[in-house]
A and B are shown apart, each in its own frame.
Chain A
Amino acid sequence: MSERKDERWLDEQLRRAIDVGRPEFDAEAWKREHREAYQAVLSRRDGDGRGDTRPHPFRLFANPLFRSAVAATIVVAAGLVLWTTRPNTPEQVERPSVSRALVSSPTDIVTFMSLTMAYRQGGEEALNRQLDAALETLGPRPDVSLLNDVLNDLEG
């Protein structure tokens, strides 16, 4: 028997063994028996299904454009974090900061914070400059006689 004839014979035997009649889908019976499942399909009629504008998380992440945008955002955010938290360079530490001593408010000039900053940035010289600037800005002390008048008034 030739191979082709053998194959035809085998095909015929397989058909006889396997083909037990075309299965027909009874849609109405299926809808009755699986009412909840069918309702799940119908319930998406008001935009709760694929047509919904809300993106499925996995589907959204599968989008290459979305992945690129996320990667770019991460890179930019990491760059910003590194830039803002980087240690002070030697140039910054050694930079003379005379201008920092001259702040607008006299109160600010003599605060502990500003004096400390002045000392850190320029040593004693800068601290002296800051204090001189404070004296210049605050001006001379009030006259002693005027101060006595004020105290007398207060005491009645």
Chain B
Amino acid sequence: MENRPDNILVEQAARGDGESFTELCRRYYGPVVAICHAILGDRHLAEDAAQEAFAKAAVHLPELRRADQFGCWVAAICRNEAKSLARTRRRPRSENDASPTETSLNGDETREAVRMALSSLSPDAREVAYLRFYDGLSYDRISAVLGISEQAINGRLRRAKRKLAEHLRRQGFDEVQL
């Protein structure tokens, strides 16, 4: 089951195989939570949004036109879900949240400054940064979720890092000279 390509799992799930669908969820849970986290800035809300996104994917799976595009499709659903959640409710942050806006609880100024810098990025740039550094996702996996080439991901990530470096320099971190 774990080695089967996405399109096979999607075909099987669409024929009523629940285990194939949960394997797809397991496979894309990390990237989907990363995308939601980039939008919501809250780990727990991100997980809630990801689970809702998979519920919607389960219901609308027969509408997926290209089985090999599941990652991209579920990412689009989770973006909508996260944006909708961001509009409707804001949950009190916990200390495990990696929010770019929260005040530092552990005194690590650098980490806080990096989170602030991340929040200043465009949504696309922030999303690619979260995907890359959330769980060390490979370019190949990021490509499956964003639906863009690895070169495009590399370019987007480099631009994001350059902006982060600029932001950090303005905050007094002179060691970043990208």
Q: Which residues of A contact B (CB under 8 A)?
A: 1, 3, 6-7, 9-11, 13-20, 22-25, 27, 30-31, 33-34, 36-38, 40-52, 56, 58-59, 62
Contacts and interface: CB of A to CB of B under 8 A. Distances in A.
Q: Is the interface of B mostly helix, strand, loop or mixed?
A: helix
8 contacts: A10-B176, A16-B114, A17-B111, A22-B135, A37-B54, A44-B16, A50-B62, A51-B11
Contact of B25 (A15, A25, A45, A48): A25
A52 B14 CA distance: 9
Contacts of A37: 54-56, 58-59
A23 B30 contact: yes
Contact of A41 (B26, B58, B134, B177): B58
B178 A7 contact: yes
A27 B22 contact: yes
A19 B63 CA distance: 33
B1 to A, nearest CB: 12
A49 B14 contact: yes
A30 B18 CA distance: 12
A30 B22 contact: yes
A42 B115 contact: no
Given A10-B168, A40-B58, A50-B61, 5 more contacts: A19-B133, A19-B134, A22-B135, A41-B61, A45-B17
Contacts of A34: 51, 54-55, 58
Given A10-B165, A41-B21, A44-B15, A18 B58 contact: no
A3 B96 CA distance: 32
A33 B18 contact: no
Contact of A30 (B54, B133, B176): B54
A66 to B, nearest CB: 14
A29 B43 CA distance: 18
A18 B11 contact: no
B16 A45 contact: yes
A135 B128 CA distance: 97
A9, A46, A56 interface centre (most CB from chain B within 10 Å):
A9
A30 B65 contact: no
A25 B118 contact: no
Nearest to A5: B175
B129 A18 contact: yes
Contact of B175 (A9, A20, A44, A45): A9
Given A38-B58, A44-B62, A56-B63, A14 B129 contact: yes
